[in-house]
Structure 1
């Protein structure tokens, strides 16, 4: 069975949602037969590569809040991350274009290293004071995940490398009706939107395994926490 996860490195609920999904997967009896594929979704497509700003400043400007109010917003997300055993820095983080990160994730996918790189990138972006929007940091993460340094630099130097793959993922997300991330699709039978509790993911895995119906939203009337296509996270 295949589980496809649309997400963005800049999305805190994708970071939290991945941890919750993995807990749900751990409770699934057939977890050894599940293939997980991570797909691209940019919260801010078309953003310039050099447009990198502190997260707190971005939130304050975007929502018309003071920096302290923006920190309070981040602290709320941090509490959810900490509950899942994840590190999360409220201050000292950057926000920028994730297009290059998605391109390198597609390179990693070809080598069976996508999950390893994604974990490293999430940790660097949310739990460490490393800007994943810096090419040297991204190269270091790719090498740590097991990718060849020269090949990684070659891809970064060519803005068209894996660009089609990123755009194809994003078009498919739109076709499936995903207007926010994280968005999980289970064997093209069930869809789960947002960072739902682990038990919802276990339920989706079980129902998809039984193959009872076409793509159906799960999680009841409550949508899990998401970041939408306009970059709004709630």
Structure 2
């Protein structure tokens, strides 16, 4: 049974939602027969440059930004996740291209987890080739393969755009968004119990 997870790697709700989904999957009786596939989604596909999360949130939400980020941080910590407030945001297209490479190499889950932890747990940059290469190779990708992809903007670009086109076609307007067995959708960072119910329902359908 295939599970598709649309997410952006700088989205805190994706970080939390994936942790909750992983908890549900760990408790699912048939988890060995479940394949999870990352699907690309860019929160800000036209983003240029890199800025701090604090600056981005202040621009977007004004004086409420700090309180909102503290609230999300607490939710992450409630899930046992590390959550740094001194992160960066930028264009994530290259990260998604690398995740497609990772999918071909059989280490997509490892690379996705490493990227999320590097960003949210360690405040490491996802926006320089050096840092991204380091994170990806620590998770099992070959440094030469990573360099080849990062040096060629066309590599896996069509695959990323195809993920995003499909998201539009099925009405994904926010992430995380999970599709189980191609027919059952769960939107948002829902509790682990709800993800578990979705897995069971799709399996028994």
TM-score by length of 2: 0.97
- Paired position in structure 1 for 2:165: 171
RMSD: 0.9
Deviations 1:117-160 (A, max 9, x none): 11111011111131111211100011111111111111101111
Instruction: For 1:130 and 1:142, locate their aligned partners in 2 and report how far apart those are by CA, in whole Å.
Output: 12
Q: Which residue of 1 aligns with 2:72?
A: 77
In the alignment, structure 1 segments of 5+ residues that lack a partner are 212-234
Q: Of 111, 121, 126, which residue of structure 1 is paired with 2:115?
A: 121
Please say if 1:60 is aligned against 2:58.
Answer: yes
**What stretches of structure 2 of length at least 5 have no aligned partner?**
none
SS at match of 2:39: strand
- Is 1:158 the counterpart of 2:156? The answer is no
Q: Report how far residue 26 of structure 1 moved.
A: 1.7
- TM-score, L = length of structure 1: 0.86
Aligned counterpart, 1:32: 32
SS at match of 1:185: strand
1:160-199: per-residue Cα shift (whole Å, max 9, x none)?
Answer: 1100000000001111111100000000120000000001
Alignment partners' CA distance in 2, 1:179 and 1:13: 14
Instruction: Give the length in aligned residue pairs.
Output: 205
Write 1 or 2 for the structure with the bigger share of helix.
2
Measured against aligned partners, the alpha-carbon deviations of 1:15-64 in whole angstroms (never above 9, x if no partner) come to 0001000111122111111111111000011323xx1000001100112x
